[in-house]
Amino acid sequence: MELLQNLKFVRVKQTIEDKEPTKKEILADLAESIQEMKLIRAGKLKAKPIQQLLDEL
């Protein structure tokens, strides 16, 4: 991608996937994850199997 950006005749359009998350978005995701973890530990929410979590990456 860096090579393409250095070529004058190539225009690079940033997509949603390329966009870096903002600090606000990261903190919101982290807060949501912590809340889910608390619910799982309290037995109010069922945890996902580790293989399913790894497949999502």
The pLDDT value given to residue 56: 84
Residue 39 · residue 45 · CB < 8 Å: yes
Distances (CA, A) of 32 to 13, 20, 35: 31, 19, 5
Residue 47 · residue 40 · CB < 8 Å: yes
The pLDDT value given to residue 12: 66
Each residue of 3-53: pLDDT tens digit?
Answer: 766 777 767 676 766 678 899 999 999 999 999 999 999 999 999 888 988
- Residue 2 scores a pLDDT above 70: no
